[in-house]
Structure 1
């Protein structure tokens, strides 16, 4: 389970993506991982927490958060 402050940041990120699309350069360390996958840091330091999301369907603006957890265990 994520710490409460990281959970709140993840909720804020999801709302930001819903409102403004998946390209979220305003979040720390945002980058594209592939054509449809992106990531950013939710919390820096030790441990760092990251979120990874994937655009599933551009036409209906569907995304899926595929990982939220420590950077050390991130699947990239």
Structure 2
């Protein structure tokens, strides 16, 4: 998780933090394609996003052939970088 993302994490409500940690566990278990999450969609260049709830989203990226998936944004829909 990026440093900026970690700072944003502190501002999230507890219920949204729990959803983010569930998403991270799903990413670890099943990889970057998370069709079971609300409004999941691929963005571009190996980037993906989904809604944690109505107001908050998470964005992550993955490169083909790599093991690491990086969550680069978690926060409000209005400020999402897509």
TM-score between both structures, scaled by the size of structure 1 = 0.89
Hey, which bits of structure 1, 4+ residues long, moved more than 3 A? none
The one-character-per-residue Cα deviations of 1:4-41 (angstroms, maximum 9, x if unpaired) are 00000000000000000100000000000003100000
Give the corresponding residue for 2:51. 41
**SS state of the match for residue 45, structure 2?**
coil
Structure 1, gaps ≥5 residues long:
none
Aligned residues: 72
Please tell me the root mean square deviation across aligned C-alpha atoms, in Å: 1.0
Q: Which has the higher contact order (CA 8 A, sep 6+)?
A: 2
Q: Which of the pair is proportionally richer in strand? A: 1
TM-score between both structures, scaled by the size of structure 2 = 0.83
